[in-house]
Chain A
Amino acid sequence: QQQVKQSPQSLIVQKGGISIINCAYENTAFDYFPWYQQFPGKGPALLIAIRPDVSEKKEGRFTISFNKSAKQFSLHIMDSQPGDSATYFCAAMDSSYKLIFGSGTRLLVRP
């Protein structure tokens, strides 16, 4: 059972464009929603995270938009750069400290 659904599987964006990755969840007990970034040959690393009591969180060029009623959240990468090319995972956590990950999005930013 896939509790966190992520789309698209892959995304190609031109340099300077906006990258948007979407996730939907089912379990209303989730209360922490991180995004992880993974470069080839490396482990995932936390990029940005949000709690459900806010609708948006911005850190530099990265923004999470959160819609609690729709049980959806998304990552927006503004002014996308070739160095942003990586695999991105959304995830959700409940009070048990376990993360449920989405299936991942491979982002390629063309120069």
Chain B
Amino acid sequence: DADVTQTPRNRITKTGKRIMLECSQTKGHDRMYWYRQDPGLGLRLIYYSFDVKDINKGEISDGYSVSRQAQAKFSLSLESAIPNQTALYFCATSGPGTGSSPLEQYFGPGTRLTVT
């Protein structure tokens, strides 16, 4: 997990607030992903990026936006948080790199977000 870091690890916010979750990686990967985990639903893809100039919507992008500030940094924003966005959020990376299988996704430790 140390290769992929997420901040904050826990966050409680109120409905309507804007919030940003940040992800950094030291694996030298080009591909980065944001997932949301809900009990009984597994992990669902929110957005993904294959390089700094490439941003793509995933399965559940409504209400979210992202920014790829650098190869190593990928942030997720909730413009106006709502209670049903309460979930665990994971960042992941993949791609050719030292000691990496190009297909394996490496996950960060997650951010637990609660919207009240």
Interface size class of A (residues with CB under 8 A): 20 to 34
Which A-chain residue is minimally distant from B35 (CB atoms)? A101
Contacts of A99 in B (CB 8 A): 33, 43, 45, 105
Residues of A within 8 A of B (CB): 6, 9, 32, 34, 36, 41-46, 49, 89, 93, 97-104
A42-B1, A98-B48 given as contacts; is B41 within 8 A of A103 (CB)? yes
Of the candidates B94, B105, B109, B110, the one having the most CB atoms from chain A within 10 angstroms of its own CB is: B105
Interface size class of B (residues with CB under 8 A): 20 to 34
Contact: A44 with B90, CB < 8 Å?
Answer: yes
CA distance A1 to B104 in the complex (A): 24
Question: Closest approach, in angstroms, between the C-beta of B79 and any C-beta of chain A?
Answer: 24
Which B-chain residue is minimally distant from A6 (CB atoms)? B42
CA distance A100 to B44 in the complex (A): 7
